[in-house]
Amino acid sequence: MAVGFFLVRTRHHRQREIKQTDRMKNKRVLIFDTTLRDGEQCPGASMNLREKLEIARQLERLKVDVVEAGFPVISEGDFTAVEAISKELKGPTIAGLARCVSGDIDAAGAAVKPAGRRGRIHVFLATSKIHREFKLGKAEDEIVRLAVKGVKQAKGYVDDVEFSPEDASRTEPEFLVRICRAAVDAGATTVNIPDTVGWTVPNEFEELIRQLYESVPEFQSGRAIISVHCHNDLGLAVANSLAAVRAGARQVECTMNGIGERAGNASLEEIVMALTTRKDVFRGFKCGVKPKEIVRTSRLVARLSGLSVQRSKAIVGENAFAHSSGIHQDGILKKRETYEIMDPVKVGWGKTELPLTKHSGRAAVLSRLKHLGFKMTDDDVSAIFARFKEIGDKKKFVYDDDLAALVEGHITIVPETWMLEYLSVSSGSSTVPTATVRLSRAGSKEKEATVYQDAGVGDGPVDAALKAIDRLTKVRGRLKDFSLRGVSQGKDALGEVTVKADFGDGNLVTGRGASTDIIEASARAYLNAVNRFLNAKQRTGKRKAVS
């Protein structure tokens, strides 16, 4: 009896899957990148406008379908970034996030306006019982009314409106169906189902997405699509996203390297390569992302966000295609596929191009910059070429990674209140580490820069240099994080330092610097953080004065 029931139930389940598969004619999976919005919300990952633009350009080369450029109402910087990216990019859809609040939607509409028909407003409103009761204090009917109102207002700015019921995975399924229908009826073309706190598991999430797909006719007709946005609190963001695709989701929201709030988001590179590599499981599914650009994008995001990629990270980690076991190495030599399910070259791993030397001219450097995908003005090229010559005098070859580090270091520069002019350190096993630092302070248009010099002692040469900078700038920062990596190969490799410092307001400020001398790189990185802090403080002061 029990066996018979099981067979009937299994047969029914399979027939339902076959019917559903027949209805799912569209198997194109849109990749919605939220690195510049959700990814940037990770503590210490704040980026300036030039950094965001450079990442946005690289995302366009990666060929993502949607770039969520920011949350326009949240700050002047976010609004400017969304507006600038909307003007700059010509391929992907540009989305601006907004709560179902009139002011938010107005700001998002203005920010994405330059994108024209490629503009999207992404509105969200919490729907789970715990959020309704403790965060919003609103009943179901009021939540539905506000969602409909928000979608309709957004529709007045753009044709492409996305609605997210926040904390959808913990929302009662019946209410979730109701609000999805209401949002689609109001004009939403995409309904995103967020696993906001990383609560769900694959089979549960797949069943939820299937239920929504079957309950809202517009999802089946293609008039609207289901999107998913999964967080990684239980390490299941990618698994949940892929399960949702099998159930009918046609957009996946993810970030490069999986960065984001708390434990992060679903990793873009893992989603894309799972769809590409396991075609037997995801039969017929495809996305438009260009895998060859994955590693380059990963490195750019890691450097500009200050969030390094763990060595064992799938696809983009340094150990992702490393084989130390003798058995594995033997198998790889005989046939790569014995221990590699992907060709590393196809995701962007491989040798760098012919390196430059100190004798290389400006034209050669400019050519390499264009090849690497950087968009530089004449002034940018002049500044980078000057740094290139400095580096070229210190090392035999300047590789692509070295050049990229110089460019990224230039991009991270904020208006420089203080500039490093000179650094000398004295250190050893039986001497007190001492650093002499000379800084110039930017003057006004009428006045020339003023030069200051002081010395400091510390536990080591880096600590001494940073203490001397504190004495000169009168800004005291507490170092919360310090990381050093070799940018390229050889003993003379360029060292890239990333620091995170707290200057007393509780916010972490990221600074970056690069040099063949790691102490100089450390001083440049810390000074970059100091300038960022002073620049942000000055902007805040101006806003307060205006208000």
> Which tens digit of pLDDT belongs to each residue from 49-83?
999 999 999 999 999 999 999 999 999 999 999 99
Q: Report, as an integer, the average pLDDT of 440-461.
A: 82
Is the distance from CB of 301 to CB of 39 less than 8 angstroms? yes
In sequence order, the 6+-apart residues with CB closer than 8 A to the CB of 192 are 122, 124, 162, 163, 164, 226, 227, 228, 229, 251, 253
The pair of structure tokens assigned to 391 is 């580096």
The pair of structure tokens assigned to 324 is 């130390």
pLDDT at 443: 67
pLDDT at 8: 46
Q: Report, as an integer, the average pLDDT of 213-232.
A: 97
pTM above 0.95, yes or no: no
pLDDT tens for 167-214 read 999 999 999 999 999 999 999 999 999 999 999 999 999 999 999 999
Q: Can you tell me which residue has the tokens 């997210």?
A: 164
- What CA–CA distance (Å, rounded) separates 96 from 74? 11
pLDDT at 18: 47
Burial class (CB in 10 A: 0-12, 13-18, 19+), 474: exposed
pLDDT at 325: 52
Q: Per-residue confidence at 543, pLDDT binned at 50, 70, 90?
A: very low
Q: Can you tell me which residue has the tokens 């599914």?
A: 285
Q: Report, as an integer, the average pLDDT of 104-118.
A: 98
Can you say how many angstroms the Cα of residue 314 is from the centroid of all Cα atoms in its chain? 16
Q: In the predicted model, is pLDDT for residue 546 greater than 50? A: no
In sequence order, the 6+-apart residues with CB closer than 8 A to the CB of 477 are 466, 470, 501, 502, 503, 509, 526, 529, 530, 533
The pair of structure tokens assigned to 314 is 């799938």
DSSP 2-33: HHHHHHHHHHHHHHHHHHHHHH----BPEEEE
* Angle at CA of residue 234, ends 63 and 274, nearest 5°: 35
pLDDT tens for 314-363 read 999 988 887 555 555 566 567 767 878 889 889 998 765 667 888 888 88
**Among 419, 424, 426, 427, which residue's Cα sits nearest to residue 437?**
424
Q: In the predicted model, is pLDDT for residue 444 greater than 80? A: no
pLDDT tens for 82-94 read 999 999 999 999 9
- What CA–CA distance (Å, rounded) separates 287 from 494? 37
Q: In the predicted model, is pLDDT for residue 138 greater than 90? A: yes
The pair of structure tokens assigned to 372 is 């690497």
In sequence order, the 6+-apart residues with CB closer than 8 A to the CB of 295 are 316, 347, 348, 349
- What CA–CA distance (Å, rounded) separates 360 from 381? 14
DSSP 211-260: HHHHH-HHHHHTSSEEEEEEB-TTS-HHHHHHHHHHHT--EEEEBGGG--
The pair of structure tokens assigned to 174 is 């019946």
pLDDT tens for 245-291 read 999 999 999 999 999 999 999 999 999 999 999 999 999 999 999 99
Count of beta carbons in the 10 Å neighbourhood of residue 417: 19
Q: In the predicted model, is pLDDT for residue 451 greater than 50? A: yes
Q: Can you tell me which residue has the tokens 């040469």?
A: 461
What CATH code would you report for 27-305?
3.20.20.70
pLDDT at 357: 85
* Angle at CA of residue 187, ends 92 and 37, nearest 5°: 40
Q: Where are the domains of the chain?
A: 27-305, 320-347, 362-411, 418-546
Average pLDDT, the chain: 89
pLDDT at 15: 52
**Among 116, 124, 24, which residue's Cα sits nearest to residue 71?**
124
Q: Per-residue confidence at 156, pLDDT binned at 50, 70, 90?
A: very high
pLDDT at 139: 97
Q: In the predicted model, is pLDDT for residue 415 greater than 90? A: no
pLDDT at 5: 45
pLDDT at 330: 62
Q: In the predicted model, is pLDDT for residue 441 greater than 70? A: yes
pLDDT at 332: 57
- The DSSP element (H or E) to which 426 belongs, if any, is strand 418-428
- What b-and-e string marks burial along 432-447, b requiring 16 or more CB atoms within 10 Å of the CB? ebbbbbbbbeeeeeee
Q: Per-residue confidence at 540, pLDDT binned at 50, 70, 90?
A: low
**Among 352, 323, 349, 351, which residue's Cα sits nearest to residue 336?**
323
CATH (one of 3.30.465.10, 3.90.550.10, 2.40.160.20, 3.30.160.270) for 418-546: 3.30.160.270
Percent of the chain topping pLDDT 70: 89
Q: Per-residue confidence at 485, pLDDT binned at 50, 70, 90?
A: confident
pLDDT at 547: 32
Strand order in the sheet with 450-457: 418-428, 431-441, 450-457
Burial class (CB in 10 A: 0-12, 13-18, 19+), 239: buried
pLDDT at 398: 85
Q: Per-residue confidence at 3, pLDDT binned at 50, 70, 90?
A: very low
β-partners of residue 484 are 497
Q: In the predicted model, is pLDDT for residue 312 greater than 90? A: yes
Q: In the predicted model, is pLDDT for residue 218 greater than 70? A: yes
pLDDT tens for 4-49 read 544 444 455 555 554 444 445 689 999 999 999 999 888 767 788 9
Q: In the predicted model, is pLDDT for residue 300 greater than 70? A: yes
Helices (H), 317-377: 326-334, 362-371
